[in-house]
A = this chain, B = another copy of it.
Amino acid sequence: MNLRLAHFAWLRRVIISIMRTVYVKGFGMDLHPTCQFSLSARFDKTNPRGVHVGAHTYIAFDAVILTHDLTRGVRLHTRVGSNCFIGARSIILPGVRVGDNAIVGAGAVVNRDVPARTIVAGNPAKVIREDIDAGRYGRLAGADEVQRRQAAENGLD
């Protein structure tokens, strides 16, 4: 037996498609039809109209996009750009704007705007790399080639 999540990819795609429809049509979120997200990613349903996610952006598992702050009584627009990768368990705080082609590291807590084409990580998140070359879903240049080579070598699979 050799189980891998990849075997259930088709089912995952169907469920996410349904979820996206619920979020967009039911809650009024602004999720681009091409954005992808983990089923455990969490979009703020207290102010769903403040959630914006751009084209070809990926939101990894347990990531949170917040759009309201009870302590200040505010609802804000939180905007994630296009071609971003929002890492697992990260938190994008209310009102933050993540630029296009940016990567948010796993577990990062993002409390200020993220410039386009940068990688941020940490809590609070800091820029750890600038001028990156990220494409769809935040894939860095050469990632496809690396993945193909690694699969061919079968070193890890």
Residues 25-79 of A contacting B (Cβ, < 8 Å): 25-28, 45-50, 58, 60, 64, 66, 70-77
Nearest-Cβ distance from residue A31 to partner chain B, whole angstroms? 14
In-complex Cβ contact of A107 among B1, B50, B60, B109 (8 A) = B109
Nearest-Cβ distance from residue A44 to partner chain B, whole angstroms? 9
Nearest-Cβ distance from residue A7 to partner chain B, whole angstroms? 10
27 chain-A/chain-B pairs, Cβ below 8 angstroms: A3-B48, A4-B48, A5-B45, A47-B157, A58-B70, A60-B70, A64-B106, A66-B88, A70-B137, A70-B139, A70-B143, A71-B138, A71-B139, A72-B140, A72-B146, A73-B142, A73-B143, A73-B145, A74-B147, A76-B156, A88-B91, A91-B106, A91-B107, A108-B109, A109-B121, A109-B122, A111-B121
